[in-house]
Structure 1
Amino acid sequence: MRSVDHALQLAVLLQVEGPFGVGEAAERLGVAPSTAHRLLAMLVYRDFAIQTRDRRYAAGPVLSLGASSQSRTALLRSVAMPHLAALVERVRESANLVILAGDHVRFIGSVECAQALRVGNREGMVFPAHLASGGKVLLADLPPERLDALYSEAKWAGRLDQRPSLAALRRELRTVRERGFAINAGRTESGVTAVGRPVRGEDGRALAALSVSLPTVRFSRDRLPELTSALAMAVRDVEEEMRGGGAHLPGRR
Structure 2
Amino acid sequence: MKNSPSYTVTSVDHALQLAVILQVEGPLRVSDAAERLGVARSTAHRLLSMLVYRDFAVQDENRWYAAGPVLSLATRSHSRVSLLRQVAMPFVESLATHLDESANLMVLFGDHMRFIGTVEGNRVLRVGSREGSVFPAHLVSGGKAILAELPPDELEAIYAPQAWAGREQDRPSLSALREELHGIPAAGFALNVEGTEAGVTAVGRVVRTGDEDLRAAVSVSLPSTRFSTDVLGSVVRGLIAATAGIERAFGRKIAAEAR
- Say yes or no: TM over 0.5: yes
Residue matched to 1:240: 248
**1:198 Cα deviation (Å)?**
0.4
> How many pairs were matched up?
249
What is the identity, as a one-letter code, of the residue corresponding to 2:44?
A
Query: What is the CA-CA distance between 1:154 and the residue it aligns to?
Result: 1.6
Q: Secondary structure at the match of 2:182?
A: helix
Structure 2 residue corresponding to 1:166, chosen from 167, 174, 195: 174
Question: C-alpha separation between the residues in 1 aligned to 2:172 and 2:18?
Answer: 32
Mapped contact 1:195–1:212 kept (Cα < 8 A): yes
RMSD of Structure 2 on Structure 1 (CA) = 1.7
The residue correspondences of 1:8-157 to structure 2 (distance < 5 A) are: 8-157=16-165
The structural deviation recorded for 1:35 is 1.0
**Secondary structure, aligned partner of 2:162:** coil
The answer on 1:6 being equivalent to 2:18 is no
Give the Å deviation of 1:64: 1.7
On the 8 A contact 1:201/1:249 being kept in 2, the answer is no
Separation in structure 1 between the aligned mates of residue 18 and residue 256 of structure 2, nearest angstrom: 24
Preserved CA contact (<8 Å) 1:137 1:176: yes
1:190 to 198, 216, 225: 198
Tell whether the 8 Å contact from 2:107 to 2:214 is kept in structure 1 after alignment. Answer: no
Q: 1:22–1:206: structure 2 CA closer, same or farther, 3 Å change rule?
A: closer
Judge conservation of contact 1:199–1:206 (CA < 8 Å) in 2. Answer: no
Q: Partners in 2 of 1:99 and 1:121 — Cα distance?
A: 16
Contiguous gaps of at least 5 residues in structure 2: 1-8
The Cα shift of 1:216 comes to: 0.7
Amino acid in the other structure paired with 1:6: H
- Alignment partner of 1:222 out of 222, 230, 246: 230
Task: State the Cα deviation string for residues 116-171 of structure 1 (Å, max 9, x = none).
Answer: 11111111100010010000011112111111111112222222222111101111
Long gaps (5+) in structure 1: none
**1:179 and 2:187 equivalent?**
yes
Question: Which whole-Å deviations, capped at 9, do the CAs of 1:39-97 have from their partners, x for residues lacking one?
Answer: 11110011000011001111111112111100000000000000001101111100000
How far off its partner does 1:205 sit?
A: 9.6
Q: Separation in 2 of the partners of 1:54 and 1:72?
A: 21
Alpha-carbon offset, residue 4 of structure 1: 0.6
The CA deviation at 1:32 is: 1.3
- Quote the residue 2:5 is aligned against: none
Secondary structure of 1:154's match? helix
Contact 1:148 1:166 in 2 (8 A): yes
Counterpart-to-counterpart distance in 1, 2:59 and 2:214? 34
Q: Are the counterparts in 2 of residues 141 and 205 from structure 1 also a CA contact under 8 Å?
A: no
Identity of paired residues, percent?
Answer: 59
- Provide TM-score, normalisation by structure 1: 0.94
Q: Find the aligned partners of 1:179 and 1:249 in 2 and give their Cα distance.
A: 32
1:210 is aligned, of 211, 218, 237, to 218
Question: CA 1:29/1:249 → structure 2, altered by over 3 Å: closer, same or farther?
Answer: farther
TM-score (norm 2): 0.92
Q: CA–CA distance in 1 between the matches of 2:256 and 2:25?
A: 14
Q: 1:37 to 1:44 in 2, by over 3 A?
A: same
Q: In 1, distance between residues paired with 2:201 and 2:250?
A: 28
Q: 1:199 to 1:205 in 2, by over 3 A?
A: farther
Query: For the Cα contact (< 8 Å) 1:107–1:123, is it kept in 2?
Result: yes
Q: CA shift at 1:222, angstroms?
A: 2.3
